Structure 1
Amino acid sequence: MAQSKKRNSKHDYTLLAALLLLIIMGLVILYSTSAYNGEVKFHDSFYYLKKQAFAMLLGIAGMFVVANMDYHWWRHVAVLGYFTAILLSVAVLFVGDEYNGSKRWLSLGPFSFQPSEFAKVAVILFLAHVITKDIKNMGKMRTMIKVMAMILPIVGLVGASNLSTAIIILGIGVILVFVASPKYGQFVFMGLLGIGFMTIFLALESYRLERLAIWRNPEAYEKGYQTLQGLYAIGSGGLFGRGIGQSVQKLGFVPEAQNDMIFSIICEELGLFGAGFVLILFLILIWRFFVIATHSRDLFGALIATGAMAHMMIQVILNIAVVTNTIPNTGITLPFVSYGGTSLVFLLLEMGLVLSVSSLVK
């Protein structure tokens, strides 16, 4: 652009405040939820908290580094980042580590991480770059299909072992294309194509169809146990909850309660009001992403903020929908709250990108 870029000395403090409060609450909730499992499995009630705190410090440091960089620099490595995500996803299929029946991790010495978390950020930057480059043709159906087809390789590779993350990546792509396109009628056709693709994808593996059956009638299946226990936790919390640390369901009744089912323990310990407060913090984050996107000085920055907004919105909605048995179980985590160092680090790096966009004013 011909306009000069002026960097503001202040970042979005509303976003930072909500994020900080959410992270602190997440650590408190995580310790309360994971202390029992940590003591039973590792003889250390602080086991999960210590690992999450280390990831948090690493992620916050990375967030501020990225926040103080010019976000336009990432256009130069967007394509490289996307192909790196594809290579890492291929590597998972061949040399990945398996945990609880899912092969999603790569190990580098003493460290392990999930390439699918890197893929989310890589796809946001890649699509922001591609759409910005071809914005004049985004109203054409063939351009929209071409852009969506570009991310199908990573969707397929990630979806082979992690369907929930594949859905998130596909959702991010659809929302970015929708925002960039001046025509909306074409999305009806794209939606039908998406439904057809998901139907075929679900039918390829019998366990995916089994999840649909468990969702419809969890009492009839042994694997519906986690869902039922999560619903018991939500119901027993009432309006104000049992109190922090007083959950009964986390004592082995809800398996791996610190992961994707953590929202049920939030409801049990903090009640409807506490769970509502957590949701308000997520809504503030999503609102600030929207404000930053609409006030960005260029399309690339607006698409980065929109991609982060789509990521946060889809993941929070899917997690809560799974916990409340509104949709079949997909094993998706609650951002900034569920246990997972890789997820936390890349979420914070993504926040750094949004803060970098917010620091450039018109």
Structure 2
Amino acid sequence: MLKKMFQLYDYSIIVAVFLLCSFGLIMVYSSSSIIAVSRYDYQFDHFFVRQRFSFIVASIAFLMTMIVPYRLYFKLFKIIAFGSIGLLIMVFAFGETSQNAQSWLAVGPVQIQPGEFVKIGVIVYLAAIFSKKQNYINDFGTAVLPPLTFTVIIFSLVFFQPDLGTAALIAMIAVVMTLCSGMNMKNVLKLLGLGGLILAILIPFAIKFEVLSDEQLSRFGAAYNPFADPLGDGLQLINSYIAIGSGGVTGLGLGNSIQKSGFLPEAHTDFIMAVISEELGIFGVGFVILLLAFIVLKGFLLARKCDDSFGSLLAIGVSSMISIQAFVNLGALTGILPITGVPLPFVSYGGSSLLALMMSMGILVNISMFVNYRKQKNLQQHEIAA
């Protein structure tokens, strides 16, 4: 039975994910070695070693979620929902601050970012609640308000850390899953209107009571006019432009980036694609984008093929999370969107992000196994009937 189960997985997704992670390890090493020398007593591989350890842990988590039947999450969705809220409350009570956001929890020597795992919690909850209420999905009071209330609570808890990037991702994932839930457009528009109203209240409140720092607010102006303050708020984006422009078609060669030598802050995290562009040119950028697009497309195709609404919505949630996160990251380093600190999926440095992404991909691969199993079973039944 176990052997048959492993034969039914979609290995093209697994190969794509591990190719991206392996490429990410190489680029983390390349983009962080100089800054690691200056920060950590000439330990040039400091970030690479940490990311490699995260990759090993994330791979184990991937294998575990790949084997666990995805329907189990439907049974546990309430526990997952309350656990997500509890984690975020713990961040407020015991969290540590980094880059003006209290988004981290220390577990011994390890720091984790609960917001990354809460994204999976939101996907599981929305998939479960929407699939459970399919027979009365357009009943605003019983089918629409519960997921709206949960999403608003999660969004607010993350927003006031303040972690604008993760809060925005959660909101956009919720919008995509709502659009795909089977709800009629009237209720969808109601939800979008309520969401817009909540944002219109939260943002002025956050500015008035200085929840958002001046640095965070300045990112919005810097995204669209970085040359107004080229040595301050616009520094990171301008150096991203220089890195992207310097790479051209073929790049300067692996390891030969100039911008990572202290000009581009945090080049190994959310601006790692700028270094990829500088060192490997359009071929390196294309490699990453094509693999990400392949994973996302496979996820949406699985959602379409899955005859179980919960599995279908799970696949949509995971796929939308990866696509939205990639879009926000690439939008920030090209000046289309404000800089929010969102990492590039599977490639950027960051243990919590990598672990959460690999867990979500394990769930997606598990869905692929059940889709292939049902397809095979249906074919056998047709052959018997014939």
- TM (normalized to structure 1)? 0.94
Aligned position for 1:3? none
Contact 1:144 1:177 in 2 (8 A): no
Deviations 1:302-347 (A, max 9, x none): 1111110110011000000000010111111101111100111111
Contact 2:61 2:358 in 1 (8 A): yes
Aligned position for 1:200? 201
Contact 1:34 1:48 in 2 (8 A): yes
Deviations 1:251-301 (A, max 9, x none): 000111101111111111111222012100000000110111111231111
AA at the equivalent of 1:266 = I
Shift of 1:216: 2.7
Aligned position for 2:22? 24
Q: In 2, Cα distance between the equivalents of 1:194 and 1:324?
A: 27
Aligned residue runs from structure 1 range 219-234, under 5 A: 219-221=227-229, 222-234=232-244
Deviations 1:47-70 (A, max 9, x none): 111111111111111111111121
Aligned residue runs from structure 1 range 1-362, under 5 A: 9-42=7-40, 43-142=42-141, 143-160=143-160, 161-203=162-204, 204-205=206-207, 207=214, 208-221=216-229, 222-360=232-370, 361-362=373-374
Q: Which moved more, 1:118-127 or 1:216-225?
A: 216-225
Contact 2:306 2:312 in 1 (8 A): yes
Contact 1:67 1:353 in 2 (8 A): yes
Q: What SS class does the counterpart of residue 245 from structure 1 fall into?
A: coil
Q: What SS class does the counterpart of residue 223 from structure 1 fall into?
A: coil
Shift of 1:145: 4.1
Q: In 1, Cα distance between the equivalents of 2:289 and 2:76?
A: 34
Q: Which moved more, 1:134-143 or 1:15-24?
A: 134-143
Q: In 2, Cα distance between the equivalents of 1:144 and 1:91?
A: 28
AA at the equivalent of 2:37 = E
Contact 2:224 2:336 in 1 (8 A): no
Q: In 2, Cα distance between the equivalents of 1:111 and 1:182?
A: 42
Shift of 1:73: 1.1
AA at the equivalent of 1:24 = S
Query: What count of residue pairs does the alignment treat as equivalent?
Result: 357
Q: In 1, Cα distance between the equivalents of 2:13 and 2:86?
A: 33
Q: In 2, Cα distance between the equivalents of 1:230 and 1:286?
A: 26
Q: In 2, Cα distance between the equivalents of 1:27 and 1:13?
A: 21
Unpaired segments ≥5 residues, structure 1: 1-5
Contact 1:148 1:174 in 2 (8 A): no
Q: In 1, Cα distance between the equivalents of 2:276 and 2:7?
A: 37
Q: Which moved more, 1:238-247 or 1:75-84?
A: 75-84
Q: What SS class does the counterpart of residue 77 from structure 2 fall into?
A: helix
Aligned position for 2:384? none
Contact 2:104 2:114 in 1 (8 A): yes
Shift of 1:109: 1.2
Report the aligned-residue RMSD.
1.7
After superposing on structure 2, the runs of 4+ consecutive aligned residues of structure 1 that deviate more than 4 Å are none
Unpaired segments ≥5 residues, structure 2: 375-386
Shift of 1:185: 4.5
Contact 2:126 2:177 in 1 (8 A): yes
Q: What SS class does the counterpart of residue 97 from structure 2 fall into?
A: strand
Q: What SS class does the counterpart of residue 253 from structure 1 fall into?
A: coil
Q: 1:296 to 1:7 in 2, by over 3 A?
A: farther
Q: In 1, Cα distance between the equivalents of 2:189 and 2:72?
A: 35
AA at the equivalent of 1:159 = F
Q: 1:145 to 1:181 in 2, by over 3 A?
A: farther
Q: Which moved more, 1:105-114 or 1:185-194?
A: 185-194
Q: Which moved more, 1:109-118 or 1:191-200?
A: 191-200
Deviations 1:139-181 (A, max 9, x none): 3444334422221111110111211111111111111111112
AA at the equivalent of 1:350 = S
Shift of 1:213: 2.0
Q: In 1, Cα distance between the equivalents of 2:267 and 2:170?
A: 25
Q: In 2, Cα distance between the equivalents of 1:199 and 1:235?
A: 37
Contact 1:233 1:249 in 2 (8 A): yes
Q: In 2, Cα distance between the equivalents of 1:181 and 1:140?
A: 12
Shift of 1:224: 1.5
Q: What SS class does the counterpart of residue 269 from structure 1 fall into?
A: helix
Q: 1:264 to 1:65 in 2, by over 3 A?
A: same
Contact 2:329 2:342 in 1 (8 A): yes
